[in-house]
Amino acid sequence: MDIKAVKFRKDGFYTQPFVMGGEGGDFDQNIRYRGSLQNWLIDTGSEVILVDTGIPAGTPEEVPDENSFGFTGKDICTYMEAFEALGYKPEQVTKILLTHRHADHSGELKSFPNAKVYVNQDETDAAELQGLTNIVPVTYTDLVCPDGLPVRTGRTERPKPTDSRLLLIHKVMGK
C-alpha cells in the first residue's frame, strides 16, 4: 500500500489554539506552527482512495494578517494538477473519504466520476454535497485512541490534534 500527499499549497501556518482545538487550556494565539493544506491518496494496489479533495479550482489564496488563526499556504498548483502529478487519473479513484464537508476538504468531489464519497450521515445535506449521486452516508462516533486521547469523528467542526482521518480509512477499508 502506498500513501501519498497531494500537495497543492506550501508555506502555511496555524495558530496554537487552532491546532490544539481552542477548547479550554492555556493556548497562545501568537504561537504558530508551520503547515499547509494537503490531502492524501492511498493506493492499495486494487483501488485508489482519496482522503478529502482539496480546495475548488479558482479559489483565491487567503491574505493572512496578525489575527489570522491559520493560512492554508500559497498555491503551488491546483488540487487536480497535484493529483495528476502523482500519476493517476480521476477515473481510477474508487472511494473518497470526506473528513468533513468544508470546501477546503470537498472542493473537487465532482472531478471523480467513479468514486463513492463516504461522508458523515449528519452532513449529507451540506451545500457542498448537493447534486452528487455517489454519496455513501456513514455513522461515526467519538472514539478513544490507544494513547487515551479522544478523537472526534465526522463532525463539522475542525478536526482535533488526533485527526479522524486514519479512523475513517480504517472504517471504510474494513481494516
Q: What is the pLDDT of residues 51-107, one digit of tens each?
A: 999 888 888 888 888 888 888 889 999 999 999 999 999 999 999 988 888 888 889
Q: Which residue has better confidence, 78 or 157?
A: 78
Residue 140 is predicted with a pLDDT of 65
pLDDT at 114: 94
How much is the mean pLDDT over the chain? 79
Residue 39: how many other CB atoms lie within 10 Å = 26
What integer pLDDT is reported at residue 111 of this predicted model? Answer: 95
**CB-based contacts of 128, cutoff 8 Å, min separation 6:** 101, 102, 103, 106, 109
Average pLDDT (156-169) is 44
pLDDT at 129 over 70: yes
Task: Report which secondary-structure segment, H or E, holds 95.
Answer: strand 93-97
Q: E strands along 9-86, which residues?
A: 9-10, 13-15, 32-34, 38-43, 48-51, 70-71, 74-75
Distance separating alpha carbons of residues 27 and 38, to the nearest angstrom: 25
Higher per-residue confidence, 153 vs 44: 44
The pLDDT of 135-143, averaged and rounded, is 72
By the 10 Å C-beta count (0-12 exposed, 13-18 middle, 19+ buried), 141 is classed as: exposed
Find the mean pLDDT for residues 18-23. 71
Return the pLDDT at 4: 94
* CB-CB contact of 67 with 12 (8 Å): no
The residue type of 156 is T
Least confident of 12-26, 79-93, 94-108, 157-171: 157-171
- How far apart CA 121 and CA 138 sit, in angstroms, is 5
Q: How confident is the model at residue 23 (pLDDT cuts 50, 70, 90)?
A: low
The one-letter code for the residue type at 118 is Y
pTM above 0.85, yes or no: no
Q: What is the pLDDT of residue 77?
A: 93
- H-state helical runs in the chain: 16-19, 79-85, 103-106, 165-173
More confident residue, 97 or 149: 97
